[in-house]
Chains A and B, each alone.
Chain A
Amino acid sequence: MGEIFKLGFMLMLVAVIAAVALGYVNSITLPIIAEQKEQAKLDAMIDVAGSLGSGELSFDSLSVPSLENPYAEVDQTLAVVSVTDSTGSELGYLFVAYGRGYSSTIQTMVAVNTLGVITGTTILFQQETPGLGANVSNPAKFMYQFDDLGYSSLLLSKDGGDLDAITGSTITSRAVTSSVRAGMEALSASGIIPGDGGVL
């Protein structure tokens, strides 16, 4: 009997020391990690918005009551941020598109100018197959094709459009393309961007 208590006590001791160590490290790193996540998101916004215009940009979240949420299927909302330059004139909008890919929900930040033309994109989050779908994070593989397009041009060549999918990753490519398209259609339907700026 005493042996069992001794073993249990040792095990408890190991677990308690590990828990205290983890709690201590967590208490130190938690605020730093939160701050970094916020910073990373802001950096992505500044980076993508840089394609809309140069100089000091300011961001304001835009609330449009008639805006539909195209991402209800993946439990995310469509949040639109308007971008203005230092003189106060509106340059365009940022939104995050959510698309169900092959093995993750891919988050794409999109910058659209006031004419409804995409000026820049970046992938915020994806966990697609390394070496295949994960190539979506490399702008030169796929996303470069989005620049200067309106939403009606957002269609893979397999679906009758002009965008070349990533080799072996049609599901990933289609998820990104249709999620960005759905977001822009919603923006257009609520009158934020004109009908179709894609006719250039």
Chain B
Amino acid sequence: MSLAQEFTKGIVKENPIFRQALGMCPFLAVTSSVENALGMGAAATFVLVCSNFLVSLLRKVIPASVRIPSYIVIIAAFVTIVDLLMNAYLPALHKSLGIFIPLIVVNCIILGRAEGFANKNKVISSLFDGIGMGLGFTLAMVVMATFREILGNGSWLGFNLLGEAYQNQPLLIAILAPGAFILMGFILGFFNIMEKRNRGGAR
């Protein structure tokens, strides 16, 4: 597979959320506004690229039978370092992303890519895979957050779209947890239909 394909497969064909159904926890929890979705996406992408890089670099050093605990230590260490550095040197960004950063440790996309890709592939391909998967994750988060923020708050990225009257009486369930599950069902259903149509057309 070429580097360009390693990069683009994460965005559409193997999108971590829509196609692999990984990382559902942040997908449901942090998509109540587009701003949060972008923040979580950016922070997770950063950690994903770093952990893919390191896991790929160490893939011949770490024995296979203890690889999972090693990956978890590497990922948790990275997340903590990112958290500390951001807190010290980029306090404004840390203030808006602060609560999401510890959550990245439990984002299974990162462990999934370390186990499923980086430990079998070269460093450069792993970097591209990390960037692609991270962008795919961010894109999926933004799609979901777009629906939820417009329906539930009448705005997009803080801009008022549907007017004051709607904002005073919005479809609140879209922002609450049940709305997230309902919308996730619709979105995953839509992608499954598209997938079936595509396959049917090819045969």
Contacts and interface: CB of A to CB of B under 8 A. Distances in A.
Interface of A: 6-7, 10-11, 14-15, 18, 21-22, 25-26, 28-29, 32-33, 36, 40, 127, 129-132, 167-168
Contact of B84 (A10, A29, A167): A29
A25 B81 contact: yes
Contacts of B69: 11, 14
B63 A131 contact: no
B91 A167 contact: no
Interface residues of B, number: 35
Contact of B170 (A11, A18, A130, A167): A167
6 contacts: A10-B66, A14-B70, A18-B73, A25-B85, A33-B84, A127-B99
A15 B71 CA distance: 10
Contacts of A130: 30, 32-33, 36, 175
B25 interface: no
Contacts of A167: 167-170, 172
Contacts of A26: 84
Contact of A40 (B76, B91, B169): B91
Contacts of A131: 32-33, 148-149, 152-153, 175
B8 interface: no
B32 A29 contact: no
Contacts of A36: 87-88, 91
| Highest count of chain A CB atoms <10 Å: which of B63, B99, B149, B169 | B63
Interface in B34-71: 36, 61-63, 65-66, 69-70
